[in-house]
Amino acid sequence: MKVGWILCGNLMGGSPRQIGINTSNWLNKNGVESIWFEGNDTVSVDASNEIESLIDSNGVTHLVFQKVCQGKALEYLQRAKDKGIKTAYTMDDFLFEGIEMIKNADGVVANSDLSSRLLADKLKLSSIHIPTAYESPPELCKESYLTDPSVYWFGQLGNSAQTDQIRDIVSGAGYRFEVIAAGPWGTKAWTLQYYNDLVQADVVIIPEFRISTFPHPPLMLLTKGANRPTMAMVLGVPVVVSPYPSYVDLISNWEDGVICMQNTPDDFRVALHVLQEPKIREKMGRRGRAKVVDRYSQDTIGKEWIQFLQSI
């Protein structure tokens, strides 16, 4: 088996690296040849001599389209199928633009159970849910919970509005607020080893008030996977989050994390007030780590990808 990946972005992006590049690197380390092509930070595939050569020379047995669904994507998918190459599409977010890719690919990977259910219930299409693996070394874990309390947010530019929604709440609760992100609005620079900063957090906060928009919250938000909380939980850092469906599936509320089910500013204030107590933070952080450290490791997720690719 030789796997090719066509990604929606590059190494510094979120999902292209976490889903495509990290998995591709793991496959190579475990005896499965794999190659990836970075995209242009959109869901559109440009014309590429390299991709066309890879398809036409039968250089791969499997070709994975990571979120890309516009431009030349469908043409390349069909071209690969015509050459006898097995094709897969990963729907990291539920994009209606990707329906034709979903319909025509030999296999579909969803980033959340809700995405899989929506495909089955609404479109009668099948998929498999493979979570995103965490990126930090599995042995890296928070050691002390007796620090001056700080709340961290980390993420990509597209989610930056979350920091404005929560900044006053965090400071009002007596925490220092740190933002790990690229650009001038980050208090700590974004690097590929961002987890070395994240492990210093006392609490990681992931708010999204738009998912409570009445009557129809954005579907793309609701179907997001749980990779952001798992990235913090594996470090032993407790998380305080909005009730994304995938987060609700992952977290046992007030045991290994806090889900602000009412999704209001007051909800977050209460959670942050309770987590001022170091013993509570430590107990919750340790439980969160125990839940995710094996389940979401790259070894576990890599094996799921191999099983999926062999099944299509």
Residue 278 is part of a domain; what is its CATH number? 3.40.50.2000
- What tens-digit pLDDT sequence spans the chain (312 residues)? 999 999 999 888 889 999 999 999 999 999 999 999 999 889 999 999 999 999 999 889 999 999 999 999 999 999 999 999 999 999 988 888 899 999 999 999 999 999 999 999 988 999 999 999 999 999 999 999 987 899 999 987 667 778 888 999 999 999 999 999 988 889 999 999 999 999 999 999 999 998 888 778 888 889 999 999 999 999 999 999 999 999 999 999 999 999 999 999 999 999 999 999 999 999 999 999 999 999 999 999 999 999 999 999
Number of domains present in the structure of the chain? 2
The residue among 75, 76, 299, 123 whose CA lies nearest residue 219 is 123
Alpha carbon separation from 137 to 154, 232, 298 (Å, rounded): 18, 12, 10
Contact criterion met (CB below 8 Å) for 238 and 288: yes
73 and 190 in a single domain? The answer is no
169 and 267 in a single domain? The answer is yes
127 and 166 in a single domain? The answer is no
Rounded Cα distance, 178 and 275, in Å:
17
Structural domain contains residue 139: no
The sheet carrying 2-6 orders its strands as: 33-37, 2-6, 62-66, 86-91, 107-110, 128-129
156 and 188 in a single domain? The answer is yes
159 and 83 in a single domain? The answer is no
Is the peptide bond preceding residue 215 cis, with omega within 30 degrees of 0?
yes
Structural domain contains residue 45: yes
Task: Give residue 126's domain range.
Answer: 2-133+297-311
Rounded Cα distance, 123 and 147, in Å:
50
178 and 242 in a single domain? The answer is yes
99 and 27 in a single domain? The answer is yes
287 and 301 in a single domain? The answer is no
17 and 83 in a single domain? The answer is yes
Q: Encode pLDDT of 97-153 as tens digits.
A: 899 999 999 999 999 999 999 999 988 999 999 999 999 999 999 999 987 899 999
197 and 269 in a single domain? The answer is yes
Rounded Cα distance, 277 and 290, in Å:
20
Contact criterion met (CB below 8 Å) for 240 and 270: no
122 and 66 in a single domain? The answer is yes
Structural domain contains residue 43: yes
pTM, entire model: 0.93
Structural domain contains residue 79: yes
256 and 175 in a single domain? The answer is yes
Structural domain contains residue 140: no
Classified as helix, coil or strand, 197 is helix
The sheet carrying 176-180 orders its strands as: 176-180, 150-154, 203-206, 239-241, 258-259
Residue 121 is part of a domain; what is its CATH number? 3.40.50.2300
